[in-house]
Amino acid sequence: MLVNLVEAVDLALARAMTEDEQVIILGEDVGKNGGVFRATQGLRERFGARRVLDTPLAENLIAGVAVGMSTQGFKPVAEIQFLGFIYAALEHLISHAARLRNRTRGRLSCPLTIRTPFGGGIRAPEHHSESTEALLCHIAGLKVVALSSPRTAYGLLLAAIRSPDPVIVLEPERIYRSFKEEVLDDGQQINLEQCLVWRKGTDLTLIAWGAMVQDCLQAADALALQGIDVEVIDVAYLKPLDMQTIINSVALTGHCVIVQEAVKSGGLGSEIAARLADNAFYALRAPIKIVSPPDVILPYFKLEQAYLPQVADIIRACCDLVENTP
């Protein structure tokens, strides 16, 4: 069926709940209202109020209840309305969810999924447009996934829900409804811990995740008209990071541009660049470039476009890299 990203999320949730009665949805407004972006629309009517739970406006409570449920045989899927609201929940995610398997030496696991919209592009205040995924990636014991299209939304979300360990699923709000794809509701997940190669190329490796993947694909199309053959890699699984796919690509192209919505300092792009310097230094024909916003808080409304990387910025960075290679 032809669906957008938010509809694919709803489709995957319904599939998971149909397959496993232990899957429980909880969060602010996820039941009666169907979620702030309507990603859970219709689930309460279909599966009942005992499996789709509206909670108070308390992220600490949501995370704590979800961790407790996961130790008692349930598979909770908790929604945090925006990534900027997740910080109140970090105590439970860091101190309990991420450490439960290690703490009990494998006797207990934490099959918990946290869904949260992230990134800019909807002209909202900064707490609604955060891109602080690097903070989550630094937590040992957590897996972090970033969606980039309806197809990846369906397959990656199913994989996250079926995982025996806690997974944070980042949903790019800017492209929730920007385009549609054919998605087969067949219950097939996308394997965990592997980058997705959206486009093959030989001249340059373009790396991104979340909404920026679609911008990179547009840039790659424009660069092809200029004779630059770009390989586009969707990191998808931010933690653990599949470096082998990235290293293999850079070994072929010799050039690498990394695009992120997060500020440059301490971002995931810097981690990827550092690992490439360790493992693919002699394959690089030019320095690695990172396209990212400045180290400031995302501004409101019209200034948002000036802050976020644009397709033109990506094209410019790629051209500069290739054209200035000795």
Residues taking part in catalysis? 128
For 10, phi then psi, to 5°, come to -60, -40
For residues 27 and 76, the answer to whether their CB atoms sit within 8 Å is no
Q: What is the 3-state secondary structure (H, E, C) of the chain?
A: CEECHHHHHHHHHHHHHHHCCCEEEEECCCCCCCCCCCCCCCHHHHHCCCCEEECCCCHHHHHHHHHHHHCCCCEEEEECCCHHHHHHHHHHHHHHHCCHHHHCCCCCCCCCEEEEEECCCCCCCHHHCCCCHHHHHCCCCCEEEECCCHHHHHHHHHHHHHCCCCEEEEEEHHHCCCCCEECCCCCCCCCCCCCEEEECCCCEEEEECCCHHHHHHHHHHHHHCCCCCEEEEECCEEECCCHHHHHHHHHHHCCEEEECCCCCCCCHHHHHHHHHHHHCHHHCCCCCEEECCCCCCCCCCCHHHHHCCCHHHHHHHHHHHHHCCC
Amino acid at 122: I
